[in-house]
Amino acid sequence: MNLRLRQVPQGLWGIFFVLGFLSFKAPFLFAEETLQIKNLPLNDLQGQSSLKQKTVLGNNNPMVKGALGFTGRYYQSSQAQFYREGAEDQQTEYTLGLRSEPGTRGGGFDIETKFQGGEGVNYFRPSEAYYKFDVGSSHLYFGRKLQPWSQADRLWHRGLFESRFMDDPLEAKPAGLTGLFWVFRQNNNEFMIFTSPLFIPEFGPQATVENNKLTSKNPWFRPPSDEILLNKSKVEMNYRIVTPDIEDVILHPSVGFHLQRQWQDWFFASSYAYKPMNQFLLEVPFVLNLTDVTSDVSIDADIVPRVEYQHVASLAMGKNSSIVHSWLEWNYEKPATEEYNYKHITQTMNETHIFTGTVETSENLSGFHGTKLWLSYSRLLGGDGKDYGEFAPDESLFERRFQFQNAFQLGVRRQFSGVFSRPLLVSSSVLYDISQNGGIFSLQGTYFLSQFWQCFFSVDLIGRMSNENSIDNGFTSLYRSNDRVSLGANYVF
């Protein structure tokens, strides 16, 4: 059985609303520039997975940028037998995104709301919403803000330092931590200290309980099995989600720092944080129901999200030149909790080491102007642990927290400037996980019809090369049936 739950109490929307309102007002209160209009996709390169990359064309002067978008997604798989029953195979998305220009005086924001027509659910996705104060040569940021904690964590979307919006993991969007950031820059040095009394967990697909079963129309949600084997007999599972009180979720303090130093083309960066894991870990206390020896047996299982602390750190070193950017990075995570209830089935994490190496070219490469290439390899040691408890099964009850274990990704992005006198941007990438014997192929194209209109398409294929010696509950195994084609358009302003 596999489950990954990211539901949070509805009261958190109030926090997001206040932060969003304050940061939205800040540019208008403090800016002296005149509002202008330009092209804008909903996300920039740094905020997108390498599987989904978009680019802004036009000047960079406007204070606030926005986009209205429509996307139709069609899931058509050659492995339809693995497609989850109840998931919609056609999804329509309506999006509205607003973002302030980097460096806007007084604050900034990057907010998107997405209505998923197939689910009938609205996903509110505020990546950033903050105030900015200048204090001498340093800056104070209050609110939700993205920071360069780890290049590898951002590139591979692992969610170690910063959380993600995971309603669609192929287009995972990062979300900054919420609190107070003090950033000091001098010459080639940068130092940042972060502290917060609050914790906002990661967001994912919406799920509900119907007839004691977990269900969702989102294709990226995997519920646990309706049955388990108990003494060689099938036993029905009756599920219930226990929603924690909002104060039990958000009242968890955090502290961390980031240091970066540059010597000519070389750089060194280090980060550390002691904070809650961005993802809920789950535990399942259950009760065996048996009225008499001839009755059917069932299990009442409460799914209890819990907040667990972590020590997380990174060390990176690399070289930047006008042609190539290359770097090596080590990420480390150690869960702070070591004791669990033996009567429950509890999701656990091991001490984790992640080693990543990346090489990417600039778009000014001689002979390949307008083309960007990248290659990255990442190796994870540790990660998801064995479920703990008296009745814990051999195979984990829960979906893996880490999507990829021993993987590389290769990608290319090319801008063509003269297709019917308008720009065309094409990108393609392949991600292959050796441990899972499977991977993801993605192709995307964006055609700029005018200054305000863009149309785009994408194709995503997920599959496995072989079932031998592979992780059976990995990402490519669970979602191998989620091949899809997407078509859409954006109006940018």
Report the alpha-carbon distance of residue 206 to residue 227 in Å, rounded.
Answer: 22
Which residue is associated with the tokens 């919406």? 206
pLDDT at 345: 86
Which residue is associated with the tokens 């904070």? 275
Tokens of residue 476, six digits:
């490519």
Burial class (CB in 10 A: 0-12, 13-18, 19+), 450: exposed
Tokens of residue 473, six digits:
């509950």
pLDDT at 62: 55
Tokens of residue 75, six digits:
């899931």
Decide: 47 and 173 in contact? Cβ < 8 Å. Answer: yes
pLDDT at 280: 94
Tabulate helix, strand, coil % of the chain (nearest 5). 10, 50, 40
Query: 42 vs 374, which has greater pLDDT?
Result: 374
Q: Where are the domains of the chain?
A: 12-492
CATH number, domain 12-492:
2.40.160
pLDDT at 469: 65
Tens digits of residue pLDDT in 115-144? 999 899 999 999 999 999 998 889 999 999
Q: Which has the closest alpha carbon to 240: 279, 272, 287, 297? A: 287
Averaged pLDDT for residues 317-332? 95
pLDDT at 285: 86
Query: 453 vs 474, which has greater pLDDT?
Result: 453
Decide: 168 and 88 in contact? Cβ < 8 Å. Answer: no
Burial class (CB in 10 A: 0-12, 13-18, 19+), 134: exposed
Long-range contacts of 458-464 (CB under 8 A, 24+ apart): 458/52, 458/485, 458/486, 459/484, 459/485, 459/486, 460/51, 460/170, 460/484, 460/486, 462/438, 463/79, 463/438, 463/439, 464/436, 464/437, 464/438
Burial 316-340 (b: 16+ CB within 10 A, else e): bebeeeeeebebebbbbbbbeeeeb
Tens digits of residue pLDDT in 22-31? 444 433 333 3
Tens digits of residue pLDDT in 344-357? 889 999 999 999 99
Alpha helices by DSSP H, 120-230:
151-156
Tokens of residue 95, six digits:
């999006």
Query: 40 vs 465, which has greater pLDDT?
Result: 465
Looking at 32-41, 280-289, 407-416, which range is the least confident one?
Answer: 32-41
pLDDT at 88: 83
Q: Which has the closest alpha carbon to 317: 362, 382, 372, 259? A: 259
Looking at 69-83, 145-159, 379-393, which range is the least confident one?
Answer: 69-83
Tens digits of residue pLDDT in 365-388? 666 678 999 999 999 999 999 988
Any idea of the CA torsion for 143, 149, 151, 155, to the nearest 10 degrees? Answer: -50
What is the biggest distance separating any 2 CA atoms in the chain, rounded to whole angstroms? 79
Decide: 286 and 276 in contact? Cβ < 8 Å. Answer: no
Q: Which has the closest alpha carbon to 104: 42, 57, 149, 62? A: 62
Report the alpha-carbon distance of residue 435 to residue 316 in Å, rounded.
Answer: 25
Measured between alpha carbons, how far is residue 180 from residues 177, 255, 257, 446 in Å? Answer: 9, 10, 11, 37
Residue length, the chain? 493
HEC secondary structure over 79-141: CHHHCCCCCCCEEEEEEEEEEECCCCCCEEEEEEEEEECCCCEEEEEEEEEEEEEEECCEEEE
**Res. 60: pLDDT tops 70:** no
Q: Which has the closest alpha carbon to 486: 449, 451, 457? A: 457
Averaged pLDDT for residues 20-48? 32
Count the Cβ atoms, other than its own, within 10 Å of residue 265.
12
Tokens of residue 122, six digits:
């609205």
**Res. 50: pLDDT tops 80:** no
**Res. 35: pLDDT tops 50:** no
* Straight-line distance from the first to the last Cα atom of the chain, in angstroms, rounded to the nearest whole number: 45
Mean pLDDT of the chain: 83
Q: Which has the closest alpha carbon to 456: 52, 37, 119, 155? A: 52
**Structure confidence at residue 83 as a pLDDT band (50, 70, 90):** low
**Res. 259: pLDDT tops 60:** yes
pLDDT at 135: 87
Tens digits of residue pLDDT in 159-204? 999 999 999 999 999 999 999 999 999 888 999 999 999 999 999 9
